[in-house]
Amino acid sequence: MPKVSEAYLEEKKTFILKCTNELLEEMPLFHLSMRDIIKKTGFSQGAIYRYYANIDEIFIDLINRIPINYPLEKEVDILLDSKQPATTILTEVILTIGRFVEEVLQTVGGRMFFELLVYYAYDVEKEQTILSRLIFKQSIDYAQSKTIDYFIASIEKEEIQLTIPITSITRFIGVSVDGIIQYAALSSIKNSQEIEELVSETADLFQTLTQSIVHFLK
């Protein structure tokens, strides 16, 4: 391929993403194939692979270009650096993760993200190589990791005490957050609920999680 400018490459990629987005308005992400995108763009098969190695790369770029107006990492850091009681900080961080998920549910990029979560739910390799590159996933992973680290540090400093082993509650938090996100993902794809109803239900689940965590504290 002759050397081309970055502007030219970006123009072609933007066009491919635009066509992909239009296709996703007509069908679920997991039904979309590279052949559909090639047909929509009018590119030859060889041409489109100059810009994206595979359909996963297109999904990643498309989702990551859609902004979300909720700075989860910043909000979590502010809470963890605050002087509030450890129990308050922990519950507020969990609720903050919940608000992020609720916000994501209401965005186009977020819905694509949730579709990918379900699509790759049982593909460990792609879950690690594809989902880990999505900004939404990176934000959630960051928040969970920081929360668990803070939880362990608070126990070691005896700021909080537990009624169950620390490994049990840290595992409980991680599994619960992942479970709520997976539930939201499945529900959003099935379209069995209005988005407002699903957002409200997701908020309730995160609220219940915080209450459960407090129950395990002395």
Report the C-alpha gap between 148 and 171 in whole angstroms.
Answer: 9
What would you report as the CA-atom Rg of the chain, rounded to the nearest whole angstrom? 20
According to DSSP H, which parts of the chain are helical? 6-24, 34-41, 45-48, 55-64, 72-80, 86-105, 108-119, 124-129, 135-156, 166-190, 195-215
pTM metric for this prediction: 0.85
Q: How does residue 146 score in pLDDT terms, banded at 50, 70 and 90?
A: very high
Interior angle at CA 66, CA 14 and CA 77, nearest 5: 140
pLDDT tens digit string along 163-216?
Answer: 889 889 889 998 999 899 888 888 877 665 577 888 899 999 999 999 999 888
Report the C-alpha gap between 131 and 116 in whole angstroms.
Answer: 8
With contact defined as beta carbons under 8 Å apart, do 62 and 56 qualify? no
**What is the CB neighbour count within 10 angstroms for residue 16?**
22
Report the C-alpha gap between 81 and 59 in whole angstroms.
Answer: 35
pLDDT of residue 2 exceeding 70, the answer is: no
Interior angle at CA 86, CA 83 and CA 90, nearest 5: 110
pLDDT tens digit string along 70-97?
Answer: 899 999 999 999 989 999 999 999 999 9
pLDDT tens digit string along 15-55?
Answer: 999 999 999 988 888 889 999 999 999 998 889 999 999 99
